[in-house]
Amino acid sequence: MSTQGMETVRVSVVIPVYQGEKTLDALLTELKALSQLGKTPGGRPFQLLEVLLVHDAGPDRSDEVIERLAAENPFVKPIWLSRNFGQHPATLAGMASSAGDWVATLDEDGQHDPADLPKLLDRALESGAPLVYASPTNPAPHGAFRNLLTSLAKISSGAIVGNRFVGRFHSFRLVRGDIARSLAAYCGHGVFLDVALSWVVSQTERCPVAMRSERGRPSGYSLAGLMTHFWRLILTAGTRPLRLISILGTLSILAAVGFSIMAVYRRTRHEIPVAGWTSTIIAVCFFSGLILFSLGVIAEYLGVTLTMAMGKPLYLIVPRPSRRRSPGP
């Protein structure tokens, strides 16, 4: 393929930073190699335009590291959030402030190799897809139990919300710049970033890459945090769970009618004695539990809707870092 006369593709890299004090230096050293004009494996000219480090008000001294890296590297652009908003809002804040033709998102812990960015760019330009996800060729470095839970979460969430793209979601992604900035402008509070991308992108591609081990620290997500992450994905992916509740309620009514008919038939045939209160209590507990569970899910949806209606911001960018320190000894 001839590349003569091809325009240089400019890439912005967004990195949400929560606990990056020990990992950012090594990651920026790798990214710096891409700041010079280069070519993808397919021969397309590209250049890293900027690295947006979004400080998400973590507990370590990431802010000081970001300030130093920005002073040493002209392509590093710090983004300061007023408080901790979470990985997805921080990523959207970086997207909103980007200027590249394409926007890549990387984790701060070093799992994602910046050297794979040209491969993702080739896949995007060859296929014409505005969104490319990394597709790991090796198991994630989290341990067998957590990897199993992640796989089960993707399978179950895909089945519950009816979104075939759920299994492709990955935090190492490349998005066309205009889509990334437009999405960041209107995305509502609490919306799962990849779900929002699936709303506006009709074609996604996957690019096989190898994941690396985390540098310097384990994952910042606890089991409770991962469950919250999963639940937000379910709530923001659509209203299908509400339909499932309606189906569950209908099946429960049919089951109750079936048991009642069977009980009356067997009683008239003298096949069962006069029943006590046990079966009644069991039925009341069962159907009351279904009702309370259904009301709980509906309340969660109402909570998300109310938060959006009240105008709660997804993130807030401020001119200087919010200093948050752990108490001293």
pLDDT at 327: 44
Q: How far apart are CA 300 and CA 39, in angstroms?
A: 48
Helix pair 177-186, 87-96: axis angle to 10 deg: 120
- Alpha carbon separation from 157 to 84, 113, 121, 167 (Å, rounded): 26, 28, 28, 9
Q: Are residues 198 and 293 in the same domain?
A: no
pLDDT at 231: 59
Q: Are residues 191 and 53 in the same domain?
A: yes
Could you tell me which of 37, 38, 40, 13 has the C-alpha nearest to residue 27?
A: 13
Q: Are residues 66 and 16 in the same domain?
A: yes
| Identity at 289, one-letter amino acid code | G
Q: Are residues 189 and 88 in the same domain?
A: yes
14 domain-assigned? yes
Q: Are residues 97 and 204 in the same domain?
A: yes
For the chain, what is the domain count?
Answer: 2
Q: Are residues 17 and 69 in the same domain?
A: yes
Cβ-contact 173, 209 below 8 angstroms: no
Q: Tokens for 295, please give them.
A: 């009301």
Buried residues in 44-67 as b, exposed as e (16+ CB within 10 A): bebbbbbbbbbbbbbebebbebbb
229 domain-assigned? no
What domain range includes position 267? 240-309
pTM over 0.85: no
Please list the pLDDT of the chain residue by residue as tens digits (329 residues): 445 557 999 999 999 999 999 999 999 999 999 999 999 999 999 999 999 999 999 889 999 999 999 999 999 999 999 999 888 899 999 999 999 999 999 999 889 999 999 999 999 999 999 999 999 888 765 555 555 555 555 555 455 545 555 556 788 999 999 999 999 988 877 777 888 888 888 889 999 999 888 765 555 555 565 566 565 665 565 566 666 666 777 777 677 777 777 777 777 776 666 555 556 766 776 777 777 677 777 767 776 676 666 566 778 889 888 765 544 44
Task: DSSP for 177-201, please give it.
Answer: HHHHHHHHHHPPTT--HHHHHHHH-
232 domain-assigned? no
Count the alpha carbons within 13 Å of 41 in the hemisphere toward its beta carbon: 11
Q: Are residues 99 and 211 in the same domain?
A: yes
278 domain-assigned? yes
Buried residues in 274-288 as b, exposed as e (16+ CB within 10 A): eeeeeeeeeeeeeee
SS3 (DSSP) at 128: coil
- What CATH number corresponds to the domain at position 97? 3.90.550.10
pLDDT at 272: 61
Count the alpha carbons within 13 Å of 203 in the hemisphere toward its beta carbon: 9
| Identity at 18, one-letter amino acid code | Y
Q: Are residues 41 and 116 in the same domain?
A: yes
57 domain-assigned? yes
Q: Are residues 217 and 245 in the same domain?
A: no
252 domain-assigned? yes
4 domain-assigned? no
Question: What does DSSP say about strands 9-17 and 45-55: parallel, antiparallel, or unpaired?
Answer: parallel
SS3 (DSSP) at 291: helix
pLDDT at 53: 97
Could you tell me which of 52, 100, 87 has the C-alpha nearest to residue 73?
A: 52
Q: Are residues 66 and 159 in the same domain?
A: yes
Q: Are residues 75 and 104 in the same domain?
A: yes
Cβ-contact 53, 78 below 8 angstroms: yes
- Alpha carbon separation from 186 to 15, 81, 94 (Å, rounded): 20, 18, 14
pLDDT at 329: 42
Q: How far apart are CA 266 and CA 199, in angstroms?
A: 53
110 domain-assigned? yes
Q: Are residues 202 and 124 in the same domain?
A: yes
Q: Which residues contact 123 (CB under 8 A, 6 or more apart)?
A: 129, 132, 205, 206, 207
pLDDT at 40: 94
